[in-house]
Structure 1
């Protein structure tokens, strides 16, 4: 496995790690990333385009997904990285372990939309991810009750901090997480693919 080449400076910085298939990336993804950046007072958000998703079939062309993420992550403090593909990794736990080893002085936070929180317990080593770095969950349309009652939310209920204290999350020792209510963007990758298929 090649050495991790980081997408930007990291030492002492508050960095959100935002992984996804991004098939394709859309305004809902930007909404999650920008909401987290503002509420957590992050210095950077690194978009990690997944090499593949073990829970999905038909990931789509990697280069197309990467380009769509670059087009959507239009912010001076957001970077899109193919680090997972370059390292030949598939599972988020391995990717995040590699990043924390390569940037031990960074204050990483794992970012996800509430739609991913519902199925987070199906991810490989999901509890290990929660023990590795703080997690911020941003509300997504129609997901609220399912996310707040998910196995993750129940397992780590005592580690949740109030949304009003979200800016403190990057400084928290894991496990620690926050659920961020936010104005909702209804767009989804699935809807975009279905629309294209119907054209």
Structure 2
């Protein structure tokens, strides 16, 4: 049985923090593959501006190219929304019936897990939760266990640098004309420049 990581997100844009965390999760949790699941229309970001899907798809491909450990998954791209993590996991179990699926999330997402769509069903569907701590995530496992029984035995913390890098921060830096080049993989930086992404609206 292989252990496969499931790393979902809008990746707008994918940055070096994503790559470091995915790599550390794979190393520490013994993952043989990490599926990057690009979410076309995240339910929690409806109404917010988001880069078109085809451009984000190109950005993710550019970020992970050349690393055989990483693979782009179209499990959410090729089906209509809304896209919930529980449905994604159930579909992936059908695609990889012999493998263990380890869902990778940040500590902030773990804290908010009770607010997810069908969180108990999601917890049943995943074989493990790889939790990548983020600055200020304030995770209280005892409190969460009371709401989601069985959570504690599935959580595996990933000991990685607490990188204070986020996609929203990078978008703000670009819009504000601040330096951002080295927050991104080189090919992703080139695409952001080529498409003039995240710029403030020009008069």
Q: TM-score, normalised by structure 1?
A: 0.77
Larger Rg: 2
Deviates more, 1:100-109 or 1:40-49: 100-109
Find the aligned partners of 1:105 and 1:187 in 2 and give their Cα distance.
35
DSSP 3-state at the match of 2:20: helix
Match of 1:92 in 2: 85
Corresponding residue of 2:75: 83
SS in 1 for 2:77: helix
> Structure 2 vs 1, CA of residues 180 and 198 (structure 1 numbering), >3 Å: closer, same or farther?
same
Count of residue pairs the alignment pairs up? 172
Q: More displaced, 123-132 or 112-121?
A: 112-121
Matched residues in 1 for 2:149 and 2:140: separation?
Answer: 9
1:107 Cα deviation from its structure 2 partner: 1.2
Larger mean Cα displacement after TM superposition, 100-109 or 36-45: 100-109
What corresponds to 1:165 in structure 2? none
Q: How does 1:32-111 map to 2 (within 5 A)?
A: 32-56=21-45, 57-74=48-65, 75-89=67-81, 90-111=83-104
Sort the Cα spacing of 1:186 and 1:153 in 2 relative to 1 into closer, same or farther, 3 A: farther
CA RMSD, 1 decimal? 2.1
Trace 1:25-36 onto structure 2 (pairs within 5 A): 25-36=14-25
Distance 1:153 1:191, change over 3 A: farther
Displacement after TM superposition at 1:149 (Å) = 5.3
Distance (Å, rounded) in 2 between the aligned partners of 1:65 and 1:99: 21
TM-score (normalised: structure 2): 0.76
Residue by residue over 1:163-195, the C-alpha shift from the partner in whole angstroms, topping out at 9 and shown as x without a partner, is xxxxxxxxxxxxx12222322221101101111
Equivalent-residue separation in structure 2 for 1:35 and 1:113 (angstroms): 13
Are residues 99 and 178 of structure 1, via their aligned partners in 2, closer, same or farther at CA, if it must alter by over 3 Å? same
Q: Following the alignment from structure 2 to structure 1, what is the Cα–Cα distance between the partners of residues 21 and 114? A: 20
Residues 144 and 151 in structure 2, CA contact (< 8 A), matched pair in contact too: no
- The whole-number CA distance in structure 2 between the counterparts of 1:72 and 1:118 is 28
Partner SS state of residue 44, structure 2: coil
Structure 1 unaligned segments of length 5 or more: list them: 1-11, 162-175
Measured at CA, do residues 38 and 157 of structure 1 come closer, stay the same or move farther in structure 2, by a change above 3 Å? farther
Q: How many Å separate the matches in 1 of 2:146 and 2:57?
A: 34
